[in-house]
Structure 1
Amino acid sequence: METSHSGDELARMLATLANPHRMRVIAALASGRNYVSALARELGISRPLLQLHLARLEAAGLVTATFELSADGKAMKFYDTVPFTVTLTPQSIALAARTLTLEDGEKTS
């Protein structure tokens, strides 16, 4: 299913995905949801660094988080990808560019 994104959404998504760590997080979550500690071990990065990247991915609308209680009553935060499709063509970029917010807060169109 093809969806179009506003210029601001597309710019935010692409800027977020431009980081190699965030691309690795999305790749790891593509096989299914996971909790922070297990994901940090899988990716070989610290939990604080992973949480920073997950926060950016969540703000861009690329992942979602839910809390669940483990059998021993410990709160665990699980992350999963949000289904998304981004098709980049000169035409799709031209369409998105019409809705970009300029630095002064005005829209381009």
Structure 2
Amino acid sequence: MLAAVGHPQRLRIIAALADGRVHVSELARRLGISRPLLYMHLERLDKAGLVTGDLVLAPDGKAMKYFELASFDVHLTVETVLAALRTDEQEGHHDVPETSP
């Protein structure tokens, strides 16, 4: 969970969902990011149990994807931070490019 919220864009997504369920296209517009990038971040948040998504059938028969926050409570300890770092490294996620000295 900690690794999932370790990216500023994902924190922005959580903030945007704080007022309730939002359609993906609307969420992308609010945040000013592409839908593919948004879906990548939403997938990470979903895997961490922070958001849930559901498909709703519109009156015209079109499937609409909505996301909302799941109930969560983060308890931060040194062990939590170390476990998140290990998980992130094992999954090969590097949100911040490494620089050489």
Compute the TM-score of the two structures, normalised by the length of structure 1: 0.70
The answer to whether structure 1 residue 83 and structure 2 residue 65 are counterparts is no
* 1:25 alignment partner, one of 9, 13, 26: 13
CA distance in 2, matches of 1:72, 1:43: 27
Unmatched segments (≥5 aa) in structure 1: 1-12, 104-109
**Superposition CA RMSD, Å:** 2.2
Specify the SS of the correspondent of 1:31: coil
Q: Per-residue displacement from partner, 1:67-105 (whole Å, max 9, x unpaired)?
A: 001121110011011011113256xx48xx7xx99x8xx
Counterpart CA distance in 1 for 2:36 and 2:77 is 36
Return the alpha-carbon distance in structure 1 between the equivalents of residues 7 and 77 of structure 2. 21
Equivalent pairs, count: 85
2:37 corresponds to = 49
Of the candidates 47, 50, 55, which is equivalent to residue 67 of structure 1? 55
Give the counterpart letter for 1:68 in structure 2: V
Q: Provide the identity percentage.
A: 57
Letter in 2 for 1:87: H
User: Which structure is larger by alpha-carbon Rg, 1 or 2?
Assistant: 1
5+ residue gaps, structure 2: 91-101
Greater mean alpha carbon deviation, residues 38-47 or residues 66-75:
66-75
